């Protein structure tokens, strides 16, 4: 950035020549882009930061105590480096850059005599809220204000036309700092807090918002500023924006003057940009040429963007300004003093030679009494983003080590102290449940009925064991018992010795103790989804296939009859417990002697009905219809029947009156396989009306007149010993015609009838199928009908009248015709 | 279920084999059996419900099913494939019959039965119709409880 030395002199000379004392420079908008690469002298940096776009070169020179030559050189160099430039600005920009301070804002300004009291711009509100300088009113000035002070000429360049026409107080307010010192806005806003300010200085003490903070004027003593983490951050690109967007200039302080509140001329919606800076109080290496206040360096550290503050913040400022009036005798009313976090604003500034940690300076909205300097902190302000401002201050002089800034860039709202933990109530230990306590194995004596002749072995273990009877003869029982009992007790706890008595009453009691077996209910048949079944395992396949329509019924296992030894019931013997669940269980009496005393009767007969293994086909659609397959009930009879169990009637088939034909019935064909037995419990259904009796015509008997005696109807068998009668020659009898065969009920006739009625063919065959579906299959099987072919080979005679009736009824029902008599006879 | 409705099963079975196109099909003379019908190697069983309850079975020998698999483009000839095929045939027959008979008839999923020794307990009598196809003989069995 530094120009070449050869051409530098000429350019610098030219630039310096062009610099006029009345010029107003401002920092280039692109300053931040190359700020870090700049190499400037200290005085040049000071000049650079003194440029605020508002003050003239002369004012800056006066502030920095520069002579004309230095000023021309520095300004020319800065202009040559394109760091500063002079440009025309708008009114709003001008107003934004308007000085907020008063005459004495610039430290080290020329000590001018205090001006006369200025006309006061009174506010409609009390002084506490008068900080909102937007509420400037044009009330008439107090009478104490000299008229000549009000009418002082203002800067001709700074008076906007629009302001010129306004009333003087208002015009003075709106004209801003460049006006005559008689119209400092802050002073008018603050009313009585006026301070003398020379006209020349009044317009030279603004703070270039946040970008160019106040730099103490230490001409010969370079101010040393530390580099903090925030300082060394990258330069912020917001600096130019800050100059224009910040509607609220920095609080400036002047010696002996109260703090002033900035006058935001910009719209209220401007985002406030606060600057957290450090105020370091450094000791100049050389005494200043003038007795001047303590040098203060305001080091911008970071920008804190925050929402637009509430208007009340300004009130806070005003209140703070009132609460912390800077005493006139205060030697160094610096920013640090104004915005010191110390709660007591009247604390005098420290000695110049004492390095003191500077208090961070925040924006203008910081109220002084607040211990922490920051922007107006609302209770619910979200965390703010800290952006580095991008200013680096080089270490200036050997006193750098003495500067100990207090880095507090961001205020953090302290969390409320955590309340002390409430001590928990010490609950008494819960009583331990009894079931958790270790159990004590106690021997619980069982109540045992006293026995008359034998001691009872007390069971040791709680679980009851079946009693064991030590069966002995009654005679030897008193002798054997004392000897056997101690021996048997460890082995069979529940043993006792009982004399043997006749068993009849015992058996009766045992049988009576057995509860009758309740009739079991057949579980409902359910449909079971079928799966492919392999025939590799025929039983499993059969069971799976049978599950299509059936449901297997569990079969109760038949326990083998154990050897039972009965003991006589004795009043000394405890009654046997009989529970319903154990009713079927035989008493596990054992004989330790290996042989019973007396021969036992046969075991008690128990009938346990079971169901057949074959599944039962369920008829779901026609529950009234008889099942297709019989369901024989197999019984395992081991003896007498239990009471309560229904007896199974013997398979008795209903005897029906049969109309026997006159002719002897033809012998039934021998079936290849005998038909299965009829179901025992299955009633015969579908018994229709009795079949018509077919009486075959009987041939009339003929009698021969020549016969000596009428021949008996039934000729007795000729005896082999009796002589044969002699034939009658004169009266030969005609030969008797053989009787025609009686017509039979033929199955072929039925099929033919069906085929004829249904049209034959497939329909006739299906009609036959439908008709035969109506006939009980048992009858068909009894008749030896295993299959039926439609080719005429199944023409058999049906002898069973019931089957005949069933066939006739089925035909009439399915075909809805009336079968004429003899239609199925052939 | 009338004769005409029962005939639907026969027609559907014939149509199925006719649609294969590989060989002519014919239905032989039916017969009624009052005992357990004979079964072939594989049997597809479908239960009918609704107004007409019963079973529809198609039983075919292994060779016939293998020929069927080849006819439909299947290369597999294992038992699983054959069982699937016979079940598929039964399903097609029953489904088409249902389509012809309407919603009054309910059809279950087909069940394939492998083996001829242990057949299902079918209600008697059964209407057995031989199916001649591609030099093989299968049987269509109608085992209805009532019709």
Among residues A213, A194, A203, A24, the alpha carbon closest in space to that of A99 is found at A203
| Chain A environment of B34 (Cβ under 8 Å) | 772, 777, 780-781, 785-788
Model confidence at A270, in pLDDT bands (50, 70, 90)? very low
pLDDT of A657 reads: 44
ipTM: 0.87
**pLDDT of A141 above 70:** no
Instruction: Name the CA radius of gyration of chain B, rounded.
Output: 14
pLDDT of A527 reads: 52
Higher pLDDT, A631 or A788: A788
| Chain A environment of B55 (Cβ under 8 Å) | 548
Higher pLDDT, A505 or A43: A43
Q: Which of A7-11, A223-227, A620-624 has the lowest mean pLDDT?
A: A223-227
A780 touches B at CB < 8 Å: yes
Q: Which of A546, A769, A790 comes nearest B29 by C-beta?
A: A790
Do the beta carbons of residue A131 and residue A261 sit within 8 Å? yes
Query: Angle, nearest 10°, between helix axes A57-64 and A68-80?
Result: 120
**pLDDT of A601 above 80:** no
pLDDT of B130 reads: 93
Residue from A762, A763, A777 to probe the interface with B (highest B Cβ count within 10 Å):
A762
What percentage of chain A exceeds 90 in pLDDT?
0
Beta bridge mates, A812: none
Among residues A41, A74, A36, A89, the alpha carbon closest in space to that of A231 is found at A36
Low-confidence ranges of chain B (pLDDT < 50): none
CB environment A290-317: b (16+ within 10 A), e (fewer): eebbbbbbbbbbbbbebeebeeebbbbb
**pLDDT of A665 above 50:** no
For A:628-667, CB contacts with B below 8 A are 628-629
Q: Which of B29, B35, B125 comes nearest A773 by C-beta?
A: B125
**pLDDT of A134 above 80:** no
Q: Which of B112, B123, B146 comes nearest A617 by C-beta?
A: B123
pLDDT of A421 reads: 55
Higher pLDDT, A399 or A773: A773
| Chain B environment of A533 (Cβ under 8 Å) | 113-115, 118
* Six token digits for residue A741: 């065969």
Instruction: List C-alpha distances in Å: A273 to A246, A373, B138.
Output: 6, 14, 97
Among residues A402, A301, A300, the alpha carbon closest in space to that of A352 is found at A402
Report the residue count for chain A: 826
Tell me which range, A382-386, A573-577, A777-781, is most confidently predicted by mean pLDDT: A777-781
**pLDDT of A286 above 90:** no
For B:53-112, CB contacts with A below 8 A are 53, 55, 79, 83, 87, 109, 111-112
Q: Which residue of B has its CA nearest to A759?
A: B3
Among residues A105, A3, A591, the alpha carbon closest in space to that of A338 is found at A105
pLDDT of A84 reads: 85
What percentage of chain A exceeds 70 in pLDDT?
22
**pLDDT of A767 above 50:** yes
Model confidence at A438, in pLDDT bands (50, 70, 90)? low
Scanning chain B, the segments in alpha helix (DSSP H) are: 3-20, 62-71, 79-101
pLDDT of A448 reads: 53
Higher pLDDT, A104 or A801: A801
Average pLDDT for residues A520-526, to the nearest whole number? 53
| Chain A environment of B94 (Cβ under 8 Å) | none
Got the DSSP string for A765-799?
HHHHHHHHHTS-HHHHHHTT--EEETTSTT--B--
Got the DSSP string for A545-576?
HHTTT---------------------TTSPPP
* Six token digits for residue A111: 């000590």
Higher pLDDT, A237 or A412: A412
Contact B29 A550 (CB under 8 A): no
Rounded Cα–Cα distance for residues A225 and A407 (Å): 12
Cα-based angle B72, B75, B80 (whole degrees, multiple of 5): 95
Q: Which residue of B has its CA nearest to A775?
A: B125
A625 touches B at CB < 8 Å: yes
Contact B32 A772 (CB under 8 A): yes
pLDDT of B60 reads: 93
Among residues A131, A122, A123, A185, the alpha carbon closest in space to that of A315 is found at A131
Contact B117 A535 (CB under 8 A): yes
A600, burial (CB in 10 Å: exposed 0-12, middle 13-18, buried 19+):
middle
Scanning A136-260, the segments in alpha helix (DSSP H) are: 147-150, 161-164, 168-175, 185-190, 199-202, 239-245
**What number of C-beta contacts closer than 8 Å exist between A and B?**
126
Do the beta carbons of residue A633 and residue A681 sit within 8 Å? yes
Place of tokens 């065969």: A741
**pLDDT of A817 above 80:** yes
**pLDDT of A339 above 60:** no
Instruction: List C-alpha distances in Å: A147 to A195, A656, A684, A756.
Output: 18, 152, 141, 145
B32 touches A at CB < 8 Å: yes
Tell me which range, A156-160, A513-517, A807-811, B57-61, is most confidently predicted by mean pLDDT: B57-61
Average pLDDT, rounded, for chain A? 53
Q: Which of B33, B79, B123 comes nearest A628 by C-beta?
A: B123
Distance of CA B66 to the CA centre of its chain: 16
Q: Which of B34, B113, B127 comes nearest A532 by C-beta?
A: B113
**pLDDT of A148 above 80:** no
| Chain B environment of A538 (Cβ under 8 Å) | 115, 117-118
pTM: 0.31
CA distance B138 to chain A (A): 17
Higher pLDDT, A374 or A67: A67
Contact A787 B33 (CB under 8 A): yes
**pLDDT of A720 above 60:** no
| Chain B environment of A620 (Cβ under 8 Å) | 53
Distance of CA A100 to the CA centre of its chain: 60
**pLDDT of A98 above 50:** yes
Model confidence at A520, in pLDDT bands (50, 70, 90)? low
Contacts of A140 (CB under 8 A, 6+ apart): none
Rounded Cα–Cα distance for residues B78 and B72 (Å): 15
Q: Which residue of A has its CA nearest to B1?
A: A770
Do the beta carbons of residue A703 and residue A729 sit within 8 Å? no
pLDDT of A11 reads: 64
């Amino acid at each position: 950035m530094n120009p070449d030395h050869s051409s530098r002199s000429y350019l610098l000379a030219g630039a310096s020549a062009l610099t006029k004392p009345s010029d107003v420079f401002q920092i280039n908008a692109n300053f931040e882009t190359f700020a870090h690469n700049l190499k400037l002298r200290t005085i040049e940096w000071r000049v650079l930061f003194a440029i605020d776009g508002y003050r003239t070169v002369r004012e800056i020179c006066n502030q920095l105590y520069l002579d004309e030559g230095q000023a021309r050189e520095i300004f020319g160099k800065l202009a040559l480096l394109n760091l500063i430039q002079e440009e025309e600005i708008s009114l709003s920009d001008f107003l934004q850059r308007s000085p907020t301070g008063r005459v004495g804002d610039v430290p080290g300004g020329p000590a001018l005599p205090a001006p006369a009291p200025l006309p006061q711009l009174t506010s409609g509100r009390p002084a506490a809220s008068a900080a909102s300088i937007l509420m400037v009113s044009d009330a008439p000035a107090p009478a104490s204000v000299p008229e000549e002070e009000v009418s002082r000429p203002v800067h001709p360049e700074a008076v906007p036309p629009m302001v010129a026409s306004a009333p003087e107080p208002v015009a003075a307010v709106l004209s801003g700092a460049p006006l005559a010192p008689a119209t400092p806005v802050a002073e008018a806003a603050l009313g009585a807090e006026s301070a003398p300010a020379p006209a020349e200085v009044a317009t030279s003490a603004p703070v270039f918002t946040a970008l160019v903070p106040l730099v103490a004027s230490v001409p010969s003593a370079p101010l040393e500023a530390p580099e903090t983490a925030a300082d060394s951050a990258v330069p912020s690109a917001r600096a130019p924006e800050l100059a224009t967007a910040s509607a609220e200039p920095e609080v400036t302080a002047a010696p002996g003057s109260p703090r002033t509140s900035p006058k935001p001329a910009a719209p209220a919606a401007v985002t406030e940009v606060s600057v957290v800076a450090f105020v370091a109080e450094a000791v100049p290496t050389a005494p200043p040429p003038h007795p001047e206040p303590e040098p203060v360096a305001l080091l911008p550290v970071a920008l804190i963007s925050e929402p637009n503050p509430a208007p009340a913040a300004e009130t806070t400022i005003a209140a703070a300004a009132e609460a912390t009036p800077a005493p006139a005798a205060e030697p160094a009313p610096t920013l640090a003093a104004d915005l010191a976090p110390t709660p007591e604003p009247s604390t005098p500034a420290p000695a110049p030679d004492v390095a003191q940690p500077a208090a961070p300076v925040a924006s203008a909205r910081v109220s002084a009494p607040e211990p922490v300097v920051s922007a107006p902190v609302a209770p619910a302000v979200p965390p703010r983003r800290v952006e580095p401002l991008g200013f680096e201050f080089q270490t200036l002089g050997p006193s750098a080590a003495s500067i100990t800034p207090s880095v507090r860039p961001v205020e953090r709202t302290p969390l409320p102290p955590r309340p002390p933990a409430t001590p928990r109530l010490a609950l008494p230990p819960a009583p331990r449940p009894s079931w958790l306590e270790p159990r004590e194995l106690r021997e619980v004596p069982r109540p045992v009925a006293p026995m008359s002749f034998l001691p009872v072995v007390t069971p040791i273990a709680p679980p009851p064991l079946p009693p064991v009877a030590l069966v002995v003869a009654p005679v030897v029982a008193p002798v054997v018992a004392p000897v056997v009992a101690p021996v048997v007790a460890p082995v069979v706890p529940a043993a006792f010795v009982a004399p043997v008595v006749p068993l009849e009453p015992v058996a009766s009691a045992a049988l009576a103790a057995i509860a009758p077996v309740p009739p079991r209910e057949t579980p409902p048949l359910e449909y079971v989804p079928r799966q492919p079944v392999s025939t590799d395992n025929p039983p499993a396949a059969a069971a799976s296939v049978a599950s299509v329509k059936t449901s297997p019924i569990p079969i109760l296992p038949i326990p083998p009859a154990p050897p039972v030894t009965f003991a006589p019931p004795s009043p000394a013997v405890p009654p046997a417990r009989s529970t319903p669940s154990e009713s079927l269980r035989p008493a596990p009496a054992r004989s330790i002697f290996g042989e019973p005393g007396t021969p036992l009767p046969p075991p008690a007969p128990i009938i346990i009905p079971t169901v057949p293994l074959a599944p039962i086909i369920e008829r779901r659609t026609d529950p009234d219809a008889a099942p297709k397959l019989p369901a024989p009930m197999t019984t395992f009879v081991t003896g007498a029947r239990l009471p309560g169990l229904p007896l199974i009637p013997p398979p008795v088939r209903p005897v029906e009156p049969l109309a026997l034909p006159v002719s002897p019935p033809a012998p039934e064909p021998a079936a290849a396989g005998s038909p299965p037995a009829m179901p025992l419990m299955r009633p015969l259904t579908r018994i229709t009306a009795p079949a018509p009796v077919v009486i075959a015509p009987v041939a009339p008997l003929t009698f021969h007149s020549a016969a000596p005696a009428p021949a008996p109807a039934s000729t007795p068998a000729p005896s082999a010993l009796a002589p044969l009668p002699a034939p009658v020659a004169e009266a030969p009898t005609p030969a008797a015609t053989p009787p025609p065969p009686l017509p039979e009920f033929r199955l072929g006739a039925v099929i033919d009838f069906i085929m004829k009625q249904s049209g034959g063919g497939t329909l006739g065959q299906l009609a036959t199928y439908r008709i035969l579906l109506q006939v009980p299959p048992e009858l068909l099987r009894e008749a030896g009908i295993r299959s039926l072919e439609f080719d005429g080979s199944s023409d058999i005679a049906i002898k069973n009248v019931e089957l005949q009736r069933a066939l006739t009824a089925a035909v009439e029902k399915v075909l809805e015709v009336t079968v004429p008599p003899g239609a199925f006879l052939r | 279920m009338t004769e005409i409705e029962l005939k639907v099963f026969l027609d559907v079975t014939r149509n199925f084999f006719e649609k294969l196109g590989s060989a002519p099909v014919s239905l032989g003379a039916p017969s009624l059996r009052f005992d357990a019908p004979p079964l072939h190697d594989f049997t597809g069983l479908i239960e009918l419900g609704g107004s007409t309850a019963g079973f529809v079975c198609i039983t075919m020998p292994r060779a016939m099913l293998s020929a069927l698999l080849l006819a439909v483009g299947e290369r597999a000839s294992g038992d699983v494939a054959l069982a699937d095929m016979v079940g598929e045939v039964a399903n097609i027959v029953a489904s088409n019959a249902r389509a012809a008979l309407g919603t009054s008839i309910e059809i279950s999923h087909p069940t394939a039965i492998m083996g001829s020794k242990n057949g299902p307990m079918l209600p008697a009598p059964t209407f057995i119709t031989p199916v001649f196809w591609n030099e093989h003989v299968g049987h269509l069995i109608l085992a209805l409880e009532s019709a």
